[in-house]
Amino acid sequence: MTEKQKNFQIGVFILSGIFLLVAGIVALGVGDFFKRKITMETYFDETVQGLDIGSFVKYRGVKIGEVTDITIVGDYYPFDPLSERFRKYGRYVLVKMEMEPNTFGALKKIHNVENFIQRMVNEHGLRIRLNYLGITGLCYLEIDYVDPKTTPALEIDWKPKNLYVPSVPSTLVRIEQAITNFSQRFEKSFFPILEKINSASSEVAPLLTNLKEGSYKLPELSTNLNETLYHLNEVLVKEKNNIGEVLNNLRLLTNDLKDVTEELRQNPSRFIFGNAPPKTGVQR
């Protein structure tokens, strides 16, 4: 074999190896670099404990992307650390993510996917929420539609560098807010009632004292009452005959009045002229 043939075979071997290497790399996923991706960002005014780079981004449970960066808004955007703006917004957590439009068959036909998503955000309430994977403590981002009137977006006053999808409070935060609101309303309602109870208690205390003092006099009052009833009974016994005579006279008087009334009814003129004159004979 000549030197020229050897060099040719070596060249063919090297080219074949390069071809196989490229084919293997493409098969192992380098093709992802050629996929169309959209970078989005959102902000949270709550802890993102359990959310890491690589965490899933899902739309109603379907994976559509992943988290690519997590940082503080005050570190990513140039806020003056001494300004009121930094105090108000600098504590927000910035989360960047990448979404693959090809995940949605309908989005493949849309030329400007960014404008479409922005319109869904503005007109239909597309939002991002932090969700938890059971009791594992791990988190992922859930994209879904909410009512903007009942669930307002987080307030910002700067222009995001990437496509911005507002966030809404997580379920855990909403539960905490509900408990806090309930406790505040309960406190406002309970303490006035407690004050009224205390006021009523202060008024009841003297009354109980008076009742207590009065209870000491009950035996004396009972004795006096018994003595009074005893004397009354003695009087009734002594005057029993007189009372009977009075009642008898009263009964007789009643009968006389009854007779007089009956006579007046039959002869009313007697009440004015007295007794009627005697009858005289008439001679013819």
CA Rg, the chain, in Å? Answer: 54
Q: What's the confidence (pLDDT) of residue 2?
A: 67
Q: How far apart (Å, rounded) are the C-alpha atoms in residues 140 and 98?
A: 13
% of residues, the chain, pLDDT over 70: 59
pLDDT above 50 (res 188): yes
Q: What are 107's two structure tokens?
A: 């989005």
Q: Which residues pair with 258 in a beta bridge?
A: none
Q: Pull the structure tokens for residue 124.
A: 């239909």
pLDDT tens column, 92-145: 999 999 988 776 656 666 778 888 888 888 888 899 999 888 777 889 999 989
Mean pLDDT of the chain: 75
Evaluate whether 69 touches 108 at the Cβ level (below 8 Å). no
Is 50 exceeded by the pLDDT of residue 252?
yes
Other beta carbons less than 10 A from residue 50's beta carbon:
15
Q: Which of 84, 80, 90, 82 is nearest to 43 (CA)?
A: 90
DSSP annotation of 126: E
Neighbours of 125 (CB within 10 A): 18
Asked if 49 contacts 63 with a C-beta cutoff of 8 angstroms, the reply is: no
**Helix (H) / strand (E) containing 98:** strand 93-99
Crossing angle for the helix pair 240-266 and 171-238, nearest 10 degrees? 90
Reported as a single tens digit per residue, the pLDDT across 3-55 is 666 666 677 677 777 877 777 666 655 555 456 788 999 999 988 988 999 99
